[in-house]
């Protein structure tokens, strides 16, 4: 089993001097023998653990695989059971804040302070607390043109949200804006949003502040 | 298959062992020194990435260093540069030793090393230049990976031939792991390249193949390489046998069978069918078996010899790695549970997990292996025990700080992300101190790597001593030094 | 375990087991998914993205945006993806049918972008955000991509795509020279077109959330 010396002179130990052999042996002589395996039996506890793992995995795979159907994404679906898509119900205050956090904070910020020179603030804003007819229009069709808010000049473009948000969502977010950060203005109702949406249905393009100021 | 009588101690005559070691010199040294070079490159890239994470203006003017590119480059340098080169170096040396035969066709391996490093260099430059494939862990562009294919095809063939010509009939547990690694890697890497890069699968099947590949790389390439080294060095340094052959066999086969099914863990909650995810979860549960079995086996081998950790650098690094192996696999199984994944998925927790595996386990075991085999290759001793100590503590502290800090940060991040009323920017702000700790950790790791590389270069440059030498151990009272084979 | 061929066969079987069971099965099962035909609207979903968006996807890939952003919405009740407005329903395999490189991502250092085209419809916002994220999102850790823009002399008419920076920002960064404008390069134009096109508006039958049926009898 041990190796015979190979014909390669570089590997042939007889070709090395006594000193070299000594120093090579020194490193190797102090080495422990090559590793071997013992044959202790498997502990019973491990056997128990393995059985538990196999049991758990098998049950999990059976129960949570949705019948191995490629169109089932929810592991709770049991094949053969009926399920339905139910809408999630939320209270207007939470929904309003959620709509705001999702859509408005990129520009108006969570503090409602906007960005000086770029995006107007909503906190303490006379526009936000003003006539609801104006701000519903802004949310539905967008705003473009020079506008003064709390003494600051802004000239940017606000995109439209009419297609993306439902009447309830627009009402909820405007109500949220009108009651947050110290704002005190009456809430906006979904019916009002519906009414305005129908009234401006033919409108294409954003509103300008000048036009909106004409609305009482 | 197991003989009934007690095992005979296989002690080859010193001349034969020296011939074996000498035959491995050039291939192992090439891969080892390449791995150290890549370690330094990966450390620099990882440090830049980590700093950019919390300080976005850092080096922000250079397009080639933009965060998305440099983080991919640092990952690839760490995985394919440092880790794979190191793993191959140790694999070649172990194969020769365990076969009790000199390494043949070393020239083939040297050429393979050249191709590997060339392909890798091309690939990393490609990523920084903007040719990344954008597939996780497979970012190297398609013009670089065929060079890697040539390299590992050569290595794979070499492994089969070497095993065929082994001189010892009995196959030790480390060899099972080495064969599994050297055989599986070409397969999984080729499948991944074909189905993700060259002829991408349609839709989210692509992502499934991608993550199947990543977990296979970890469980069928890095884990076997690391465990092969642990199963060799722990009993070798202590002069004791491995506790149980049956545990070794059980651990080996269960790792192979269940490990490769854990890929879908990266897609929990994602656009893949529920059964695919559940299969991954079930496999992760079954992974408890190889993890516990291996931990018990190695622990019971160590029992009674823990004092040796005070002396032997090899043992200390390898055992530290072994402990992290157990921890990281247990965390991985926990993360695969859907309720835990709901919090940890998409957060820095997963980055912590990846580094704990690749560094806390694999790199530490590789360092231990290097501390053992370089003196045998160069016939010199490590010049500085102080540098070894600096390396160990820096590596241990740095890696632990990194995964602990990012785990905590990631957990908080995940919990806050699941509460919609917390604005996203606030969630980000709360991760900042943990990301900063991660950068501090990388600085500590860099210090350790520098200490190691200086020690290696010093050792290379130092003249070969005449006569018998004493192994470089951690400083301890002289009375303790006897009786340890280092 | 001393026989080489047996060892090899065992290892091969282990890796083949997972490839056949996971990968091959998935390829057969849903690799052949086709677009869904909606009878009410009379068209196929998902829509194919416009050409410039396809180029923008390449820019997204080469800059490594997938390193920080995911493009997959989790189902309602699992995480807070729907509540954050990242999508109205879970992302399903059919959504990614036409994508040569599926960019699911794995980290949410930044928000999920699957439906960013529905959330953020302003190209101008995207240009400002990409030029310097601090302009639109102070304290963000997203890196600035100034190298995607060009500060150049106005030739003839000013470009309609020129960025409108706030006055003091422009002054602080030397971007207020008269007769000069900051314009996006074609790469970032394509990228923004891609971001604006990222939207999964149609709800496939398999994407509707599942509500378990009520238990019969008492609770």
Highest mean pLDDT among A105-114, B232-241, C29-38 belongs to B232-241
Q: How far is A87 from chain B (nearest CA, A)?
A: 18
What is the pTM (predicted TM-score) of this model?
Answer: 0.85
- Which residues are bridge partners to C153 per DSSP? C180
In this complex, is the C-beta atom of B245 within 8 Å of any C-beta atom belonging to chain A? yes
Chain A: residue nearest C214 by CA? A83
Q: Enumerate the residues of chain B whose CB falls inside 8 A of the CB of residue A101.
A: 420-421, 423
Chain B: residue nearest A94 by CA? B421
Q: How far is B100 from chain A (nearest CA, A)?
A: 7
The three-class DSSP label of residue A154 is: strand
Is C23–B212 a contact, with Cβ atoms under 8 angstroms apart? Answer: yes
In this complex, is the C-beta atom of A76 within 8 Å of any C-beta atom belonging to chain C? yes
pLDDT band at A5 (very low <50, low <70, confident <90, very high): very low
Residues 6+ apart with CB under 8 A from A172: A92, A93, A95, A96, A99
Sole residue written with tokens 């999630």: A88
pLDDT band at B152 (very low <50, low <70, confident <90, very high): very high
Least confident window among A17-26, B295-304, B406-415:
A17-26
Q: Enumerate the residues of chain A whose CB falls inside 8 A of the CB of residue C122.
A: 157, 159
In this complex, is the C-beta atom of B14 within 8 Å of any C-beta atom belonging to chain A? yes
Q: Enumerate the residues of chain C whose CB falls inside 8 A of the CB of residue A101.
A: 84-85
Q: Give which of B235, B216, B206 is closest to B485, Cα–Cα.
A: B235
Q: Tell me whether 0.90 is exceeded by the ipTM.
A: yes
Q: Enumerate the residues of chain B whose CB falls inside 8 A of the CB of residue C146.
A: 60-61
Helix axes A167-179, A190-199, angle to 10 degrees: 120
Displacement of CA B178 from its chain's centroid (Å)? 13
Mutate to test the interface with C, among A64, A115, A116, A119 (most CBs of C within 10 A): A115
pLDDT of C216 reads 52
The three-class DSSP label of residue A39 is: strand
Q: Locate B22 and state its tokens.
A: 């000498």
Chains near A with 3+ CB pairs less than 8 A apart are: B, C
Q: How far is C185 from chain B (nearest CA, A)?
A: 14
pLDDT of B4 reads 40
Sole residue written with tokens 């069971």: C21
- Is B475 part of any domain? no
pLDDT band at A107 (very low <50, low <70, confident <90, very high): confident
What pLDDT digit, counting tens, does each position of B423-445 carry?
999 999 999 999 999 999 999 99
Q: What is the DSSP letter of A35?
A: P
pLDDT of B459 reads 95
Q: Does residue B46 carry a pLDDT above 60?
A: yes
Query: Which CATH superfamily groups domain C45-204?
Result: Cytochrome c-like domain (1.10.760.10)
Q: Give which of C193, C210, C203, C209 is closest to C45, Cα–Cα.
A: C203
Which of C64, C80, C140 is the closest to B72 by Cβ? C64
**What percentage of chain B has pLDDT greater than the value 90?**
81
Q: Does residue B388 carry a pLDDT above 80?
A: yes
pLDDT per residue rounded down to tens, chain C (219 residues):
677 788 889 999 999 999 999 999 999 998 888 898 887 767 788 888 888 999 999 999 999 999 999 999 999 989 999 999 999 899 999 999 989 999 999 999 999 999 999 889 899 999 999 999 999 999 999 999 999 999 999 999 999 999 999 999 999 999 999 999 999 999 999 999 999 999 988 888 888 888 776 655 443
Which of A88, A101, A106 is the closest to C120 by Cβ? A106
Pairing mode of beta strands C149-153, C180-184: antiparallel
Chains near B with 3+ CB pairs less than 8 A apart are: A, C
| CB B277 within 8 Å of CB C23 | no
CA atoms within 13 A on the CB side of B481: 10
Virtual torsion, Cα B466, B366, B106, B382, nearest 10 deg: -10
Least confident window among B96-100, B256-260, B263-267, C208-212:
C208-212
Better pLDDT: B173 or A20? B173
- Which CATH code for domain A92-213? 1.10.760.10
Q: Does residue B320 carry a pLDDT above 80?
A: yes
Q: Enumerate the residues of chain C whose CB falls inside 8 A of the CB of residue B132.
A: 61-62, 64
Peptide bond preceding B35: is omega within 30 degrees of 0, i.e. cis?
no
Is B239–A32 a contact, with Cβ atoms under 8 angstroms apart? Answer: yes
Find the helix or strand (DSSP H, E) in which A63 lies: helix A44-63
Is C119–A102 a contact, with Cβ atoms under 8 angstroms apart? Answer: yes
What pLDDT digit, counting tens, does each position of A149-173 carry?
998 999 888 998 988 888 888 999 9
Alpha-helical runs (H) found in chain C = 4-18, 25-30, 51-62, 116-119, 123-131, 133-136, 167-172, 186-197
For residue B367, which phi and psi values (nearest 5 degrees)?
Answer: -60, -45
Residues 6+ apart with CB under 8 A from C89: C73, C75, C76, C82, C200, C203, C207, C208, C209
Find the helix or strand (DSSP H, E) in which C150 lies: strand C149-153
Q: Please provide the size of chain A in residues.
A: 216
Q: What is the DSSP letter of A31?
A: S
pLDDT of A6 reads 42
Mean of the pLDDT values across residues A5-9?
44
pLDDT of A3 reads 39
For residue A136, which phi and psi values (nearest 5 degrees)?
Answer: -65, -40
Give the sign of the dihedral formed by CA A52, CA A53, CA A58, CA A63: positive
What are the residue boundaries of the structural domains of chain A, listed by start?
Answer: 92-213
Q: What angle do CA A198, A203, A208 make, to 5 degrees?
A: 120
| CB B313 within 8 Å of CB B392 | yes
Q: Give which of B321, B439, B448 is closest to B74, Cα–Cα.
A: B439
pLDDT of A43 reads 87
Angstrom distance (rounded) from CA A42 to CA B291: 15
* CATH number, residue B287: 1.20.210.10
Q: Locate C137 and state its tokens.
A: 């999102």
Q: How far is B177 from chain C (nearest CA, A)?
A: 10
Which of C84, C136, C213 is the closest to A106 by Cβ? C136
Q: Give which of A148, A121, A154, A142 is closest to A207, Cα–Cα.
A: A142
Q: Enumerate the residues of chain C whose CB falls inside 8 A of the CB of residue B351.
A: 107
Residues 6+ apart with CB under 8 A from B40: B449, B453
Pairing mode of beta strands C43-45, A143-149: unpaired
Q: Does residue B253 carry a pLDDT above 60?
A: yes
Long-range residue pairs from B430-434, CB within 8 A, at least 24 positions apart, any chain: B431/B348, B432/B54, B432/C141, B433/B409, B434/B348, B434/B405, B434/B406, B434/B408, B434/B409, B434/B410
What are the residue boundaries of the structural domains of chain C, listed by start?
Answer: 45-204
Q: With 0-12 CB in 10 A as exposed, 13-18 as middle and 19+ as buried, what is B389?
A: middle
Least confident window among A106-115, B185-194, B394-403, C38-47:
C38-47
pLDDT band at A92 (very low <50, low <70, confident <90, very high): confident
Q: Does residue B475 carry a pLDDT above 50?
A: yes
pLDDT of A163 reads 85
Q: What angle do CA C130, C134, C138 make, to 5 degrees?
A: 135
Within a 10 A sphere around the Cβ of B123, how many other Cβ atoms?
27
Q: Enumerate the residues of chain A whose CB falls inside 8 A of the CB of residue C119.
A: 102-103
Q: Does residue B124 carry a pLDDT above 70?
A: yes
Angstrom distance (rounded) from CA B340 to CA B349: 11
- Percent helix, strand and coil across chain A, each rounded to 5? 45, 10, 50
SS (H, E, C) chain B: CCCCCCCCCCCCCHHHHHHHHHHCHHHHHHHHHHHHHHHHHHHHHHHHHHHHHHCCCCCCCCHHHCHHHHHHHHHHHHHHHHHHHHHHHHHHHHHHHHHCCCCCCHHHHHHHHHHHHHHHHHHHHHHHHCCCCCCCCCCCCCCCHHHHHHHHHHHHHHHHHHHHCCCCCCCCHHHHHHHHHHHHHHHHHHHHHHHHHHCCCCCCHHHHHHHHHHHHHHHHHHHHHHHHHHHHHHHHHHCCCECEHHHHHHHHHHHHHHHCCCHHHHHCCCCCCHHHHHHHHHHHHHCHHHHHHHHHHHHHHHCCCHHHHHCCHHHHHHHHHHHHHHHHHHHHHHHHCHHHHHHHCCCHHHHHHHHHHHHHHHHHHHHHHHHHHHHHHHCCCCCCHHHHHHHHHHHHHHHHHHHHHHHHHHHHHHHHHCCCCCCHHHHHHHHHHHHHHHHHHHHHHHHHHHHHHHHHHHHHHCCCCCCCCCCCCCCCCHHHHCCCCC
Q: Enumerate the residues of chain B whose CB falls inside 8 A of the CB of residue A105.
A: 423
Is A97–B168 a contact, with Cβ atoms under 8 angstroms apart? Answer: no
In this complex, is the C-beta atom of C52 within 8 Å of any C-beta atom belonging to chain A? no
Q: Enumerate the residues of chain C whose CB falls inside 8 A of the CB of residue A74.
A: 75, 209-210
What pLDDT digit, counting tens, does each position of C199-215 carry?
988 888 888 888 776 65
Residues 6+ apart with CB under 8 A from B465: A23, B380, B381
In this complex, is the C-beta atom of B376 within 8 Å of any C-beta atom belonging to chain A? yes
Q: What is the DSSP letter of C65?
A: G
pLDDT of B482 reads 46
Chain C: residue nearest A76 by CA? C212
Domain limits for position B377: 16-461
Q: Does residue A80 carry a pLDDT above 70?
A: no
| CB B202 within 8 Å of CB B278 | no
Better pLDDT: A120 or B20? A120
**What percentage of chain B has pLDDT greater than the value 70?**
93
pLDDT of B481 reads 47
Q: Does residue A131 carry a pLDDT above 50?
A: yes
Q: Give which of B335, B314, B161 is closest to B237, Cα–Cα.
A: B314
Give the sign of the dihedral formed by CA B299, CA B305, CA B309, CA B312: negative
What pLDDT digit, counting tens, does each position of A15-64 carry?
455 655 555 566 666 788 888 888 888 889 999 999 999 999 999 999 99
Within a 10 A sphere around the Cβ of A67, how many other Cβ atoms?
12
- Is B315 part of any domain? yes
Mean of the pLDDT values across residues B216-231?
97
Chain A: residue nearest C126 by CA? A106
Which of A13, A39, A72 is the closest to B2 by Cβ? A39
Q: Give which of C122, C104, C132, C107 is closest to C195, Cα–Cα.
A: C122
C-alpha separations of A18 from B20, B174, B375, B464, C134 in Å:
19, 34, 20, 15, 73
The radius of gyration computed from the CA coordinates of chain B, to the nearest angstrom, equals 22
Q: Give which of C58, C44, C47 is closest to C194, Cα–Cα.
A: C58
Better pLDDT: B190 or A28? B190
Find the helix or strand (DSSP H, E) in which A136 lies: helix A132-141
Q: How far is A20 from chain B (nearest CA, A)?
A: 8
- Which residues are bridge partners to A155 per DSSP? A146
- Is B230 part of any domain? yes
C-proximal residues of A, 116-145, CB under 8 Å? 116-118
pLDDT of B117 reads 97
Is B278–A64 a contact, with Cβ atoms under 8 angstroms apart? Answer: yes
Is B471–A30 a contact, with Cβ atoms under 8 angstroms apart? Answer: yes
Helix axes B223-238, B364-378, angle to 10 degrees: 60
Q: Locate A192 and state its tokens.
A: 């009002």
pLDDT of C214 reads 63
Give the sign of the dihedral formed by CA C113, CA B76, CA B138, CA A68: negative
């Amino acid at each position: 089993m041990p190796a015979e010396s190979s014909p390669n002179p570089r590997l042939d130990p007889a070709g090395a001097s006594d000193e070299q052999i000594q120093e090579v042996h020194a490193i190797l002589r102090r080495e422990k023998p090559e590793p071997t395996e013992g044959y202790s039996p498997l502990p019973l506890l491990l056997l128990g653990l393995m059985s538990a793992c196999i049991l758990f995995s098998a049950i999990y795979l059976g129960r949570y695989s949705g019948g191995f159907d490629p169109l089932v994404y929810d592991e709770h679906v049991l094949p053969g059971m009926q399920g339905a898509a139910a809408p999630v119900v939320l209270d207007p205050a939470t929904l309003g804040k959620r709509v705001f956090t999702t859509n408005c904070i990129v520009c108006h910020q969570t503090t409602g302070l906007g960005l000086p020179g770029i995006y107007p603030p909503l906190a303490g804003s006379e526009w936000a607390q003003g006539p609801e007819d104006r701000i519903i229009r802004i949310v539905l069709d967008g705003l473009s043109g020079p506008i003064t808010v709390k003494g600051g000049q802004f000239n940017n473009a606000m995109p439209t949200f009419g297609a993306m948000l439902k009447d309830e969502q627009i009402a909820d977010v405007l109500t949220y804006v009108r009651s947050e950060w110290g704002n005190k203005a009456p809430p906006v109702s979904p019916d009002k949003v519906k009414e305005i949406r129908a009234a401006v249905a033919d409108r294409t393009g954003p509103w300008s502040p000048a036009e909106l100021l004409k609305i009482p | 298959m197991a003989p009934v009588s007690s095992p005979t101690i296989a002690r080859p005559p010193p001349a034969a062992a020296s011939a074996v070691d000498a035959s491995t010199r050039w291939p192992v040294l090439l891969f080892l020194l390449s791995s150290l070079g890549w370690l330094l490159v990966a450390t620099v890239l990882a440090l830049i990435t980590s700093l950019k994470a919390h300080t976005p203006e850092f080096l922000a003017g250079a397009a080639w260093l933009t965060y998305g590119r440099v983080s991919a480059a640092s990952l690839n340098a760490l995985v394919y540069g440092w880790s794979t080169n190191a793993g191959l170096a140790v694999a070649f040396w172990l194969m020769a030793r365990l076969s009790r035969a000199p390494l043949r066709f070393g020239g083939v391996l040297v050429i393979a090393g050249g191709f590997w490093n060339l392909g890798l260099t091309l690939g990393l430059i490609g990523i920084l230049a903007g040719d990344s494939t954008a597939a996780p862990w497979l970012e190297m562009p398609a013009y670089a990976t065929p060079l890697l294919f040539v390299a590992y095809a050569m290595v794979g063939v070499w492994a089969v031939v070497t095993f065929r010509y082994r001189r010892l009939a009995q196959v030790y547990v480390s060899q099972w792991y080495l064969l599994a690694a050297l055989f599986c890697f070409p397969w999984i890497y080729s499948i991944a390249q074909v189905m993700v890069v060259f002829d991408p699968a349609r839709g989210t099947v692509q992502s499934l193949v991608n993550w199947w590949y990543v977990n296979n790389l970890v469980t069928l390439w890095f884990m076997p390489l690391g465990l092969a080294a642990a199963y060799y060095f722990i009993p070798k340094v202590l002069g004791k046998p491995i506790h149980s052959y049956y545990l070794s066999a059980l651990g080996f086969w269960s790792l192979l069978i269940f490990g490769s099914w854990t890929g879908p863990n990266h897609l929990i909650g994602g656009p893949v069918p529920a059964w695919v995810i559940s299969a991954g979860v079930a496999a992760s549960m079954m992974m408890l078996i190889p993890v516990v079995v291996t931990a018990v086996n190695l622990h019971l081998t160590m029992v009674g010899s823990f004092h040796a950790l005070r002396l032997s650098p090899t043992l200390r690094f390898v055992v530290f790695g072994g402990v992290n192996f157990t921890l990281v696999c247990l965390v991985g199984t926990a993360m695969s549970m859907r309720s835990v994944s709901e919090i940890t998925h998409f957060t820095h927790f997963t980055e912590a997990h990846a580094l704990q595996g690749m560094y806390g386990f694999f790199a530490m075991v590789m360092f231990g292996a290097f501390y053992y085999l370089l003196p045998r290759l160069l016939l010199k001793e490590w010049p500085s025990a102080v540098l070894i100590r600096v390396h160990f503590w820096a590596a241990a502290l740095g890696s632990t700080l990194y995964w602990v800090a990012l785990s905590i940060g990631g957990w908080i991040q995940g919990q806050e992300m699941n509460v919609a009323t917390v604005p996203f920017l606030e969630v980000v702000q709360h991760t900042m101190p943990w990301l900063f700790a991660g950068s501090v950790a990388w600085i500590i790791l860099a210090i350790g790597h520098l200490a190691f590389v200086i020690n290696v270069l010093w050792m290379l440059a130092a003249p070969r001593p005449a006569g018998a030498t004493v192994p470089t151990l951690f400083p301890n009272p002289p009375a303790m030094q006897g009786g340890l084979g280092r | 375990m001393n026989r080489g061929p047996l060892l090899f066969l065992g290892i091969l079987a282990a890796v083949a087991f997972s490839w056949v069971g996971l990968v091959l099965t998935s390829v057969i099962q849903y690799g052949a998914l086709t677009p869904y035909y909606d009878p009410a609207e009379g068209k196929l979903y998902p829509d194919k993205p416009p050409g410039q968006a396809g180029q923008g996807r390449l820019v997204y890939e080469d800059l490594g945006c997938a390193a920080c952003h995911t493009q997959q919405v989790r189902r309602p009740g699992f995480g807070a993806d729907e509540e954050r407005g990242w999508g109205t329903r879970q992302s399903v395999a059919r959504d990614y049918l036409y994508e040569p490189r599926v960019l699911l991502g794995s980290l949410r250092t930044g928000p999920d972008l699957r439906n960013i085209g529905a959330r953020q419809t302003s190209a101008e916002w995207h240009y400002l955000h990409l030029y310097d994220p601090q302009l639109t999102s102070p304290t963000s850790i997203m890196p600035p991509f100034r190298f995607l823009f060009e500060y150049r002399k106005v030739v003839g008419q000013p470009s309609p795509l020129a960025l409108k920076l706030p006055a003091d920002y422009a002054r602080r960064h030397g971007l207020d020279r008269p007769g000069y404008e900051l314009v996006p390069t074609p790469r970032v134009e394509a990228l923004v077109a891609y971001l604006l096109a990222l939207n999964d508006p149609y709800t496939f039958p398999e994407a509707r959330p599942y509500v378990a049926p009520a238990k019969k009898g008492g609770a």
